[in-house]
Structure 1
Amino acid sequence: MSEPSRTPKRHGRLVRFGAALVVLLALAGYLTVQYLTGGTGTPGCKVVSGKGDGASYRFTPEQAVNAATISAVGTGRGMPERAVAIALATALQESGLRNIRHGDRDSLGLFQQRPSQGWGTPNEIMDPTYASGVFYAHLAKVPGYTRLPLTVAAQRVQRSGFPQAYAKHEPDATLLAAALTGRAAATLTCTGRPGATRTTGSDAVRAALMRDFGRDVVQEAGAEVGGAPAPTPTPSAASKGAGRTVTLPVSPGAGSTAGHSSRERGWQLAHWAVANASALHIERVSYAGRVWTAGLTDSRWRESGTQGAGGAEQGAGAVRIVTAQ
């Protein structure tokens, strides 16, 4: 009697081996994604309440960049936190905080402003800095806007066909405004490793800072010398240390034109940097003895744990931004 064929057994082993290989490859792919994104699968940002009441709002890196610009332009114009919250709620409703090239009729951009209604040219409206500035210019003309319900103040600017729509965004806009104006410290974080872009490095960070805040943001500490304003330095002179680091001294009284303390100004700059981390390839942000590092799975602000540069930075009231290149 001949022996039974071994072919079915070999075939079964090959099938099991192939299945195991597929599982291993899938696991390797998953771990690679977790490493590249800091353990989140998809990069994202989160802002939490500084009151410890558990309120939070999650949003994308793209939304974070636009929200940070809206806040920076507002405080740069001396607008209060309430104005920033109104602007953020408006952009959340009109565009989802995305700079879109379409909308109702000729509406464009973050606030869905219409060239035909005198808001600017299409190119101007698609510039988030310009769009934010012209929104605030109209808001400032609304009598008593800080005392009005948010949806009423927004509607006085937008003249929307859905005047009550802004109200539902007020909780999220309020959280964002508190963090991005610096009132709520260490409350905005982003997860995932920064993605490379064509414009990265410290020069790109300084250019973006000046675009959103104005050239004074990179001015050295001691803005006044002998009662006269010191000249604004060039972008290269504004960076302390070698190419990857941008240091922003926060002098006493900084941000006071918008009613903010120097501490709030520092946290505004620090949160702005975290919000722009993916776009500008920022790896680390530190301020007031706390540090945020890209790629950590929980992405919390942590104690710096050093008495060297971190301690000196805390004492000097400087925000330090370190880029990947």
Structure 2
Amino acid sequence: MPESPSPANEKKRRGCGLRVTAGLVVLLALGGYIAYRLENNNAPAAAGCTVKTDGNDLELDTDQAANAATIAAVAMSRDLPERAVTIALATAMQESQLRNLDSGDRDSLGLFQQRPSQGWGTAKEIQDPVYAAGAFFDSLVKIQGYTKLPVTVAAQRVQRSGYPEAYAQHESEATSLSAALTGQEGGSLSCTTGADTAYSAGGRLGDTAAVAARLKREFGSRAKSSDDSAPRTVAVTSGTSRARSWQLAQWAVAHAHDLKVEQVTLGDSRWQAAKSDKGWQQTKTADAKDADPVVRITVAR
């Protein structure tokens, strides 16, 4: 008959078994962590937009960026200065966080929380960002010397808010965003689409006619668009000003999500939805000239 194992040997064997099990658990956990990191390192960045100017970063979601770009476009259509854009953006940041709200205090609505009962327009009009921005600028330009006033003073004279000092807290961010969206800081705004291909969901194709119509509605005669020789591409210009060209380019990126934009190019700078986590990239191709003022907007297939 075989000898029964001694208590000491049995304890030793159990100890070895526990160490082996613990080692396997550690290895499995380490393997899972490595797989998680690899998967997330390769995963596309979440959808959103970033403005980088003078070392300052401002994060926006795609709706906020699109609304801000529309406000800047309406200002450009009226040939208003950058200061007007800063005042409008600071106001919308305070009133709605740059969101087109369908409610608010009493009958307040939209980006600027304008009230139908106070003569700002109908509820439907106020919830149209182009109309709302235009109505704001209509009032702003009536204020003598508004460009020299503090942001909070100019905004309050338009809005007549119960919290007039609140606009001041947004001045720094509004100034950075304005510099990007008026083209003074070229390439400072970029958006990610949340996909490693042009668009991950929805199945809706881009439409060059929709892009051209939106450009005309927001920029008016300041933007001239036409079909480009490249497929699915709109070519747009606004004179020879490099800043104006950058405004158009960054407007297209800010609206990339809702217009299904696949690529935007200006000279040797290119933004691509499929590589949107890399931001604006330099192409240095033979046919891309730094001085070329034409912005080319290509929509998804």
One fold, TM greater than 0.5? yes
State the SS of the aligned residue for 1:184.
coil
In structure 2, the residue matched to 1:206 is 212
Cα deviation for residue 283 of structure 1 reads: 2.1
Alignment of 1:128-167 (within 5 A): 128-167=129-168
**Given the superposition, is the C-alpha separation of residues 21 and 318 from structure 1 closer, same or farther in structure 2, using an over 3 Å criterion?**
same
Q: Is the 8 A contact 1:36 1:295 kept in 2?
A: no
Cα deviation for residue 35 of structure 1 reads: 3.7
In structure 2, the residue matched to 1:113 is 114
Query: Paired residue for 2:295, among 319, 322, 325?
Result: 319
Q: Is the 8 A contact 2:87 2:154 kept in 1?
A: yes
Alignment of 1:1-325 (within 5 A): 30=40, 34-37=42-45, 42-49=46-53, 53-192=54-193, 193=195, 194-195=198-199, 198=204, 200-214=206-220, 217-219=223-225, 238-252=226-240, 262-296=241-275, 298-308=277-287, 310-311=288-289, 314-325=290-301
Counterpart code for 1:278? H
1:71-106 superposed Cα distances (whole Å, 9 cap, x missing partner): 000111121100000000000000000001010001
Number of corresponding residues: 283
Measure, in 1, the Cα distance between the counterparts of 2:35 and 2:160: 55
State the SS of the aligned residue for 2:228.
coil
**Given the superposition, is the C-alpha separation of residues 159 and 108 from structure 1 closer, same or farther in structure 2, using an over 3 Å criterion?**
same
Measure, in 2, the Cα distance between the counterparts of 1:80 and 1:285: 25
Measure, in 2, the Cα distance between the counterparts of 1:25 and 1:290: 35
Q: Is the 8 A contact 2:76 2:222 kept in 1?
A: no
Q: Is the 8 A contact 1:46 1:58 kept in 2?
A: yes
Considering fraction of residues, name the structure with more helix: 2
Aligned CA-pair RMSD: 2.9
State the SS of the aligned residue for 1:164.
helix
Cα deviation for residue 22 of structure 1 reads: 7.5
Cα deviation for residue 27 of structure 1 reads: 6.5
1:242-290 superposed Cα distances (whole Å, 9 cap, x missing partner): 44211113433xxxxxxxxx11110110110111112222122111321
Measure, in 1, the Cα distance between the counterparts of 2:278 and 2:191: 6
In structure 1, the residue matched to 2:12 is none
Counterpart code for 2:65? A
Cα deviation for residue 145 of structure 1 reads: 0.6
Measure, in 2, the Cα distance between the counterparts of 1:30 and 1:288: 33
In structure 1, the residue matched to 2:14 is none
Measure, in 2, the Cα distance between the counterparts of 1:110 and 1:249: 28
Counterpart code for 1:47? V
In structure 1, the residue matched to 2:8 is none
1:32-91 superposed Cα distances (whole Å, 9 cap, x missing partner): xx5444xxxx21211121xxx312211111101000000000111121100000000000
Name structure 1 gaps, 5 residues minimum: 2-7, 220-237, 253-261
Q: Is the 8 A contact 1:202 1:243 kept in 2?
A: no
State the SS of the aligned residue for 2:130.
helix
Measure, in 2, the Cα distance between the counterparts of 1:185 and 1:24: 38
State the SS of the aligned residue for 2:235.
strand
Q: Which moved more, 1:138-147 or 1:299-308?
A: 299-308
Cα deviation for residue 295 of structure 1 reads: 3.9
Measure, in 1, the Cα distance between the counterparts of 2:32 and 2:186: 46
Counterpart code for 1:145? Y
Q: Is the 8 A contact 1:201 1:243 kept in 2?
A: no
Q: Is the 8 A contact 1:94 1:111 kept in 2?
A: yes
Measure, in 1, the Cα distance between the counterparts of 2:37 and 2:179: 40
Counterpart code for 1:322? T
